[in-house]
Chain A
C-alpha cells in the first residue's frame, strides 16, 4: 500500500492502480470476440541521438493526448543515509527549470484543462500529463525543460522536504499500521535496495543536501536514462518531430551503475511482533520471497494470488472471512517488481480471535493448492481480470502511456501490453500448483504481527 508515493493528488490514484495491474489488448482466445481482435496497440519506437527512447501510439478516439516519462531511478538506487531521495527529488521536478517558473508546470497544465502528476516507487519515477490535443507543444516543452535544466536550490529543497515529511506523517506516522508496511520490506529483504522504504526516514530526508540533489539529477535524469511515451490524438511523424525539437539537444550522461538486487536463498521463517498505538485491531502480514516480474513464473504467481486472495470467491475469503469468521477481510497480491518480489498476504483479525487460528487457516489453504491444482474457473478469474484491464487501456490514453513507458524500461518491451492476455492464457492449473509448491513454503516467508498498544488511540476502550 505505502510502496508508491506521489507528488500530488487526483489522477494518480487511478494511474497507480493501472500500472500495477497487468494490462493488455491482444487477439482473443475464441473467434467469438472479434471486437477485441483488431485492437492491438500499434506504436513507433525510436531512440534519439542522446539515448532518449520515444514511444508513440497514435489513436483518435478523443481529442486528448497523454505523455508518460519513466526515469530509470527509484528508491532501489538509493544508498544508506540517503533514503527517500528518489521521491524527494520527484517533488523538486515541479519547482522550476530554466524557462519554467516554480509551480508554473502544474499551473499551466491545469489552467489548460489537463491533468498531471508524478509518482515514485522502488523501481522507477514516473511523470505524466494528459491535455487537450491542441496543447501538444505545451506538454512536451514542459517535460523537456525540466529534463534539461532543473533549478536546484536550498529554498526549493527545504520547502519540498517539508511537504515530503508531511506526506510521510500522513501516510506512515499518523496512520495505523503505517510502520508495519515499512517493516515488511525490512524483514523480508536483506539487500538494502529493496529493504528500505520509498518515503525514506525523517533523519535521511533532513540530511539531504543541495549537492546531493544536483548529483542525483545529473546521474539519473539524463535522456539516456528515460523513456517517453506519447499516446492518443497525435500524428506520429509530427509528434516525433516535436519530440526531437524539444529533447534531442539535451546532453547524454554516463549510464548509471546497475543496481545489485541479489537476495540470498532463505533457510528459515522470519517473524516480528510490533506494537502500534494507533491501531485498534491486530493485523497479520505474511510475505513470501518470489522472483522478479520478468521471471517465467510471474504470470502463474499472479494467477495464484487471484485464486487465493482476489475477491469474495477466493479461497482465503471463503475460509477466513466467510466460514471461520476470523477476519473482516483477507488479501493476497504479487506486485510488479524489477528485482526480487514478494507474494503478500494480509488480514486484520476480528476481536476475540487469535493470530494462531488465522495463520493456521491461511497455511491450510496454501497446502490445498499445493496438494491439487485449482479448478479451471479459478484460473479463468485471473484471465478475465487481464482481459478487462486490456479493454480499460483502450479507453485511457494516460494508462496506455504509463504502461508502455514502464514496460519499455522494465522489460525492454513497450508492446508488452499486447501480449498479456496470451501470457495469462498459457498458465495452466498445474502451473499454479507448481509455483505454490516452489515458493509458498515456511522457510521462505516473513510474518509480522501488529498488535494495538492499549494505552492510546483507542478512546474509551
Chain B
C-alpha cells in the first residue's frame, strides 16, 4: 500500500473483479484510429470475462480505537501488515516546520529505549524482514508496515511495536540522518523526472500543503529532536488508526497479537483532522525547468480534477484509461507506436481526500518537442470533442474489470481494496459492484467528464529540458515561466 493514499486512484485501474456485465468481445475490436494498431481478429479470445469472487476480510474494532482488518490466506507462509495513523502525515506540517512528519517517521527506527539503530537493522535483516515507518509530504497519514515469514511474525511485531511506541530520536543519529538525506535531496535535482514532478506540484497547488514533494535541505536543518519527540507524542496515537493484516494469519491471532503488543497504546482524545480544499488552479501557462545538456524534454500536462469520493470517479477512471491509462491508451499508441517520439506516454488520475489531479506524462527527444506536445494536446481536444467509439470504450472498460482475476494472486493486493474502502468510507459492497459501475459508464458520460475536467483554459504544461533548444518552441503554446534546477524563477510573467 502506498503511504500516499491519494495515489490509490491508480489502484482500481490495474485490477478489479469481473462479474455480470461480461460483454461479448467478438473477433475484431475497433482500435484507436491509428494504423499503429491493427486488429486482425484471428486470435482465439474467450468472450466471457472470468467471474471471480473477491474474498472479504474480517474486520473489528479494538478497545483503544484501532480498527482491525484481516485477510486470511494460507497459501504462502508469510504475513504482511500495515498500520495507518491518520493525522501524522506530512500534509499537516505547519509552513514553518515542513518536513517534520517525514523526519519523525524516518527517525523512529534509528533507536528505541532498548535497541540501537544497528541492532534494529541486524534483527530485521537476519529475518529478511522489514519495518517501514513512513509518510509522504502530502500524506494525511503515517504508516508503519512490515512483512515476515510466519515463523518470524512474533519477533517482527515485537520490533515494530517497539519502534512505534518507544523511539528515542538519538541526537547523534539525527545528525547522520540529516547528512545522508541532504545528499539524496541534492542528488534528486540531477533527475529530470524529479524536477518535472516538483514544478508540476507547485503549479497545481501553489503554496498549499498539497504542493509539497520533498523537503529542502534548509527545512531539514530546522528539524530538532525536541520537535520530533513532541510530534511523536501528539500524532502517533491510536484513536483513529487502522491495522490491516494479509496472509498466513487468522483474525483471532491478529487480534491477540495487536492487543498484546499495542494494548499499552492509549487513546489520546485527539480529534480526527481533515484535509482542506486546495486553492483553485490558475489560468493555463507553460512552465519550463532549464536543465542544460538535456537531450530530452520531459512533460507533465495536467490540471486539478477530483477527490476520491467524487461521484465522477469511475467515469474519469474510464476516460483516463481511454486517453492514456497504459500501453493501450491513445497517448501510447499515437506518440510511441505511431510516431516513435518517445519510449512511453501515459496519463493518470490522482484522487485522494482533497482535490487531486489528472495529468499526462511523456519524455521525448528534444528535436520533436513541438510535434509531440501538439499531438499530446490533440488527444485532450479529441476526448473532449469526439465521442469515444463504442468498441474502444467497451475494450477499456473490459480491461479494467477483467484484471480483477490477476489481483487474486496476491492477498496483499486484495487487502488494499478494503483498506481503500476504510480510508474513504466506501460502501461495504463497493468492490462487488465495481464491475457493474465501470461497465455502466457511457460514452456520453466520458465526453461530458472530459469537457468538465480537461478544461483547456486551466490546463498547465510543465516541461524540463534544455532552454536553448526548447524555449522558443514552448512560447508558441502559451505564456512561459522559466525556472532553474534549484527551483528558482529565472524568467516569466508575474503570476
Contacts and interface: CB of A to CB of B under 8 A. Distances in A.
Interface of A: 8-10, 32-33, 35-36, 61-64, 96, 99-104, 106-108, 110-115, 130-135, 137-138, 141-142, 145, 158-167, 169-170, 173-176, 277-281, 310-313, 318, 321-322, 325, 327-329, 348, 350-351, 377, 380-381, 384-385, 387-388, 391-392, 394-397, 455-461
A112 B24 CA distance: 11
Given A111-B25, A113-B401, A132-B18, A391 B295 contact: no
Interface of B is mostly: loop
Contact of B50 (A63, A142, A461): A63
Contacts of A104: 37-40, 43
Given A32-B151, A113-B403, A134-B50, A170 B296 contact: yes
B125 interface: yes
A64 B293 contact: no
A113 B402 contact: yes
27 contacts: A10-B326, A61-B409, A62-B408, A63-B408, A102-B38, A103-B38, A107-B328, A111-B25, A111-B328, A114-B403, A132-B50, A133-B50, A145-B43, A166-B341, A174-B296, A175-B191, A176-B190, A280-B190, A281-B187, A310-B125, A325-B179, A328-B187, A348-B187, A381-B125, A388-B149, A395-B76, A458-B485
Contact of A163 (B43, B342, B485): B342
A35 B150 contact: yes
B294 interface: yes
A392 B149 CA distance: 10
A298 to B, nearest CB: 19
Given A61-B409, A133-B50, A325-B179, A33 B45 contact: no
Given A10-B326, A312-B121, A395-B75, A101 B126 contact: no
A242 to B, nearest CB: 10
A283 B35 CA distance: 45
A144 B84 CA distance: 47
Given A62-B408, A115-B406, A100 B31 contact: no
B405 A132 contact: yes
A396 B145 CA distance: 21
Given A33-B77, A325-B179, A391-B77, A137 B44 contact: yes
B399 A111 contact: yes
B28 to A, nearest CB: 10
A146 B402 CA distance: 25
The 6 closest A-B pairs by CB, nearest first: A113-B402, A162-B340, A101-B38, A459-B485, A103-B37, A384-B128
Max chain A Cβ within 10 angstroms of own Cβ: one of B35, B186, B190, B336: B190
Contact of A100 (B42, B121, B326, B402): B42
A458 B75 CA distance: 51
A169 B296 contact: yes
Contacts of B181: 328
Nearest to B294: A174
A106 B333 CA distance: 11
A125 B399 CA distance: 27
Given A64-B405, A107-B29, A457-B291, A162 B341 contact: yes
Given A110-B326, A159-B340, A456-B292, 20 more contacts: A99-B43, A104-B38, A107-B31, A107-B39, A110-B399, A112-B402, A132-B18, A138-B45, A141-B44, A163-B336, A166-B363, A169-B296, A278-B190, A322-B117, A322-B118, A348-B183, A350-B179, A381-B128, A456-B293, A459-B486
